[in-house]
Amino acid sequence: MRRLLSVLFVLIGLTVSAQLTSVKGKTTYNFWLNLPADSILNNNPPILVFLHGKSLSGTDLNRVKKYGVIHEIENGRQIPAIVIAPQVASGSWNPDEVLEVIEYIQAQYKTDTNRVYVCGMSLGGYGTMHFAGKYAHKMTAGVALCGGGNTKDACNLATIPMWIQHGNRDEAVPFKQSTDMVKAIRACNDGKNLVWTEVKGADHGDLEKVFRTDAMYEWLFAQIRTSEGEVAITEVKKVAIEPVAPTVPPVVISTEATGIGN
């Protein structure tokens, strides 16, 4: 009986790992693709994009497994979405090339275009805000960890749910990089769609723990763009690396203004 159970566990493991595949040469960025169970895949799943930090840049896709969403998947986390994790060879994330990957997947699979989520840390935090700054109308919500952005993009970011987090003892990316963006977003619409978390006592690497909690995934997937083109913000749950995360009252926002600037 014990041997049979061991065989079953191995088979289950193979089934899960078989969903994670590398995709090369199809778009500018090579990327990891993780497909959910068929019961989800066959019912218009959402898309979750993970943008890595600078230390995972290069041409070896296995580097992207070192931390973040793909690392979590390999450790057994079941994510009810098609997960895309591209790799940038060097330099900054290019919003156009991130969109290229998303649209490639949307052409290959029938997905819910009202549920496209982007998250990233450090360089990926910048990438998330740069992408949202140019293509807010193409996504539903984003989480940017210990990064920054261009304050000229703030009014585009203000149109969708954005959860920005940064440790106040970060010596790699100055805390001010996020607070400047928060200030600029609030200046657009009083930050009605913004969630801002100052993680007290946390340094740069501490924010990686966010990927290991349920809160980020639950919050992202709770944001849904309706057929009328609106996104409702839901309550933010407790985050493990902070005693209490902020609570955001439910609001509904119009996405008609997402074409402002780029």
**Beta-carbon-side half-sphere exposure of residue 51 (alpha carbons within 13 Å):** 34
Least confident span in 1-15, 35-49, 164-178: 1-15
Give kind and range of the element (H or E) at residue 195: strand 194-199
Q: Determine how β-strand 20-23 pairs with β-strand 30-34.
A: antiparallel
pLDDT at residue 10 in the model: 39
Does residue 208 register a pLDDT over 90?
yes
- Segment 71-98 shows an average pLDDT of 97
What region does 17 belong to: left with phi over 0, alpha with psi -120 to 50, or beta?
alpha
Q: What is the pLDDT of residues 46-79, one digit of tens each?
A: 999 999 999 999 999 999 999 999 999 999 999 9
Three-state secondary structure call for residue 183: helix
Residue 179 DSSP symbol: H
Does residue 85 register a pLDDT over 60?
yes
pLDDT at residue 56 in the model: 97
Does residue 241 register a pLDDT over 90?
no
Does residue 248 register a pLDDT over 70?
no
Does residue 17 register a pLDDT over 50?
no
Cβ partners under 8 Å of residue 176, min gap 6: none
For residue 150, which phi and psi values (nearest 5 degrees)? -100, 120
Give kind and range of the element (H or E) at residue 164: strand 162-167
Look over the chain and give the mean of its residue pLDDT values, rounded to a whole number.
Answer: 84
Q: Distance between CA atoms of 243 and 220, rounded to whole angstroms?
A: 20
Fold of 2-254: Rossmann fold (3.40.50)
Percent of the chain beyond pLDDT 90? 77
Q: What is the pLDDT of residues 174-203, one digit of tens each?
A: 999 999 999 999 999 999 999 999 999 999
Q: Answer whether 55's CB lies under 8 Å from 88's CB.
A: no
pLDDT at residue 242 in the model: 43
Q: Answer whether 167's CB lies under 8 Å from 206's CB.
A: yes
- Segment 12-28 shows an average pLDDT of 73
- Tell me which of 124 and 225 has the higher pLDDT: 124
Q: Distance between CA atoms of 179 and 174, rounded to whole angstroms?
A: 9
pLDDT at residue 259 in the model: 24
Angle between helix 123-135 and helix 95-108 axes, rounded to 10 deg? 70
Domain boundaries, the chain: 2-254
Q: Distance between CA atoms of 175 and 199, rounded to whole angstroms?
A: 10
